[in-house]
């Protein structure tokens, strides 16, 4: 059983978290094949939107995973999550599901509250994540209010500095939200820390994405 894991940007924290959650859900016997192209996120970040060429390269990573024999593909970048949405029919046709790491996280946030704080270091991640939250809220027939928590200049900081910046920003919004959502999977190592300090439900994507991979593999009869 092979899981294709598609990244448009990687940090050691993100890879470690994603692989750990996948192993916890699908077992150590699964083979995880990584496909990476940091130029995709760089282009999206510089352009302020998902360009046609960035989209083409991302879809190329999906097809690379399928050609490599993946039974399922996990898209790990929220900035380009809507590209994953756009190729769901390809996943159905090929029998190789393309799973977003963050969609079920967004659904859980909507289940748990009506005021959702969305934390991100990049507007290129913040806005697509907000779009996804609003979409799933419509699907669930629920109205939500989104509170932005953009950490300008925090991208690429050391873990200690990043956690400190996260806490300051989380404390700014904590009294006004029911749930704090991390728009970037690389933030997930701060989840427990922010929860303990702010006393709010905090959700991050790796554990939700891994659970969705498990469900999809079970539906295929592979687990």
Domain 2-101+207-219 and domain 103-205, same fold? Reply is yes
Domain residue spans of the chain: 2-101+207-219, 103-205
Q: List the beta bridge partners of residue 3.
A: 32, 72
pTM of the full structure: 0.92
Higher model confidence: residue 157 or residue 150? 150
Question: Which of 110, 149, 105 is CA-nearest to residue 126?
Answer: 149
Q: Kindly state which CATH superfamily the domain 2-101+207-219 is placed in.
A: Response regulator (3.40.50.2300)
Q: Does domain 103-205 have CATH number 3.40.50.2300?
A: no
Average of per-residue pLDDT across 168-183: 97
| Mean per-residue pLDDT, 190-208 | 96
pLDDT of residue 67: 97
Q: Between β-strands 201-203 and 179-182, what pairing exists: parallel, antiparallel or unpaired?
A: parallel
Say what the pLDDT of residue 16 is.
Answer: 87
Would you say 25 and 215 are in contact if contact means Cβ atoms under 8 Å apart? Answer: no
What is the model's pLDDT at position 222?
A: 93
Q: 181, 129 in Cβ contact below 8 A?
A: yes
CA distance 44 to 51: 7
């Amino acid at each position: 059983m092979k899981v294709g894991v598609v990244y448009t940007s990687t940090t050691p924290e993100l890879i470690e978290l994603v692989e750990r959650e996948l192993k916890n859900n699908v077992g150590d016997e699964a083979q995880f094949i990584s496909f990476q192209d940091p130029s995709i996120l760089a282009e999206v970040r510089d352009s302020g939107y998902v360009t046609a060429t960035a989209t083409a390269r991302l879809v190329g990573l999906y097809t690379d995973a399928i050609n490599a024999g993946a039974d399922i593909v996990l898209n790990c970048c929220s900035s380009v999550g809507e590209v994953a949405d756009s190729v769901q029919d390809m996943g159905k046709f090929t029998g190789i599901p393309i799973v977003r790491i963050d969609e079920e996280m967004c659904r859980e946030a909507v289940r748990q509250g009506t005021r959702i704080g969305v934390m991100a270091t990049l507007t290129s991640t913040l806005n697509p994540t907000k779009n996804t939250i609003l979409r799933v809220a419509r699907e669930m027939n629920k109205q939500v209010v989104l509170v932005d928590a953009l950490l300008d200049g925090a991208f690429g900081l050391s873990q200690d500095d990043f956690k400190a910046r996260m806490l300051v920003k989380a404390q700014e919004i904590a009294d006004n939200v029911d749930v704090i959502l991390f728009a970037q999977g690389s933030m997930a190592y701060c989840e427990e820390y922010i929860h303990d300090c702010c006393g709010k439900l905090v959700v991050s994507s790796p554990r939700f994405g891994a659970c969705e991979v498990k469900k999809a593999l079970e539906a295929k009869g592979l687990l």
